[in-house]
Amino acid sequence: MKREQVSPPFWILASEFYILDSNFDFESSMRCPICENPNAQARYRMTDRFFEVSTDQFWLYHCSSCDLLFQEEDKIRDRLPEFYPSGYWWQEAGKLSWLERTYREWVVRHDQLGFVLSLFPDRQGRLLDIGCASGTFLKLALQAGFDAFGLEQSEEAVRIAQRVAPGRILEGNEQDLIARGEKFDILTLFHSLEHMTDPFRYLKNIQKLLRKPGQVIIQVPNVQSLQARILGSRWYGLDCPRHVYNYSTFSVLHLLGRAGYRIQRVRHFSLRDNGAALVSSLFPALDTMSQRVKLLKKKGKLHSLSLSIKESAYLALVILAQPFALLEAALGRGATVTVYVTLD
Ligand SMILES: [Zn+2]
């Protein structure tokens, strides 16, 4: 099938173009897995721009009804584990510079933990952080007084997180915990849901982990954000091919409602993610995480003057991006959407 050329706006600092050819194997339309619109259209052909774990190309489909951007699950389900590079969101503290370690903790404390504390100021209840990666949020939640645990599937991440929060990491998936009869009062999924296949079934399934009334906090990138709209396929928040589903505010709320949750609060600002997503999209060569992942792969030096300069420049740009991030959030078009839902 012949399709038009998709190219980024001319003013973006771009090094790649996405030219759609006639020989690439894809369906031109798909059924939207969230709202069941039968006519979601192929929109972007993507490569793994940031981590380069695969040289393959991946199609993202767009649903014009709920604004979801998604991959065809059947094509990638079995391959998902191979898309995660060593060091993806779970780098050891010793491999991070002091600046990055301090910055990461500071933003998680003021962003994710701050939101959780605003909802549960008495810090009561058993909390499970699903997809806890290297355990930064978990460590801070424990320090704040929560009876907190982390669930993680990546062996490498589990090994790192065990050092950060000893005895608090549960290795495996939600099925393992359900089989063990584990129950929690609060579930947090910070940037986890977009990585999962069949999210409706997943959201129904984790209800078996909740003691009622259950409380769930979900944070995902927002394709309805101003920066996602402006940047298109070059937006960092798409993180192709690791994100199976790229939600809009509408689609994630629709999905949560369908799964039986009651929407209590929606937030569009994220100190940790929104400014950073904009800077990483515009200046991918400065993105500190992907730089470190690539250096790890090449066994390069993780502490060097050039990396320190890049990190400092990145941080300065993230600070400069905050007014735009605040404007997006004020318009309800922030790059991240955080939703607090309950289950009666
Ligand atoms: Zn849809």
Q: Residue-wise pLDDT tens for the chain (344 aa)?
A: 444 444 444 333 333 333 344 445 567 889 999 999 999 999 999 999 888 888 899 999 999 999 999 999 999 999 988 888 876 665 665 566 777 778 888 899 999 999 999 999 999 999 999 999 889 999 999 999 999 999 998 888 898 899 989 999 999 999 999 999 999 999 999 999 999 999 999 999 999 999 999 999 999 999 999 999 999 999 999 999 999 999 999 999 999 999 999 999 999 999 989 999 999 999 988 887 787 777 777 766 666 788 888 888 999 999 999 999 999 999 999 999 999 999 99
Q: DSSP label at 304?
A: -
What's the pLDDT score for residue 24?
Answer: 52
d(CA 103, ligand 1 centre) in Å: 36
| Domain-located, residue 330 | yes
Q: Give residue 290's domain range.
A: 93-343
d(CA 223, ligand 1 centre) in Å: 13
Structural contact between residues 189 and 115, judged by C-beta atoms closer than 8 angstroms: no
Q: Which amino acid is at 187?
A: L
What's the pLDDT score for residue 179?
Answer: 95
d(CA 61, ligand 1 centre) in Å: 10
| Domain-located, residue 71 | no
| Domain-located, residue 133 | yes
Structural contact between residues 237 and 276, judged by C-beta atoms closer than 8 angstroms: no
Closest CA to 197 of 330, 73, 296: 73
What's the pLDDT score for residue 27?
Answer: 74
| Domain-located, residue 293 | yes
d(CA 113, ligand 1 centre) in Å: 31
Secondary structure (3-state) at 267: strand
| pTM for this predicted structure | 0.86
d(CA 117, ligand 1 centre) in Å: 33
Using CA atoms, how far apart are residues 218 and 196, in angstroms rounded to an integer?
13
d(CA 3, ligand 1 centre) in Å: 22
d(CA 36, ligand 1 centre) in Å: 6
d(CA 60, ligand 1 centre) in Å: 13
d(CA 247, ligand 1 centre) in Å: 10
- The tally of domains found in the chain comes to 1
| Domain-located, residue 4 | no
| Domain-located, residue 8 | no
Using CA atoms, how far apart are residues 236 and 234, in angstroms rounded to an integer?
6
What's the pLDDT score for residue 295?
Answer: 72
d(CA 199, ligand 1 centre) in Å: 13
| Domain-located, residue 334 | yes
Using CA atoms, how far apart are residues 219 and 44, in angstroms rounded to an integer?
23
CATH code for the domain of 270: 3.40.50.150
d(CA 210, ligand 1 centre) in Å: 28
| Domain-located, residue 17 | no
d(CA 40, ligand 1 centre) in Å: 7
d(CA 335, ligand 1 centre) in Å: 19
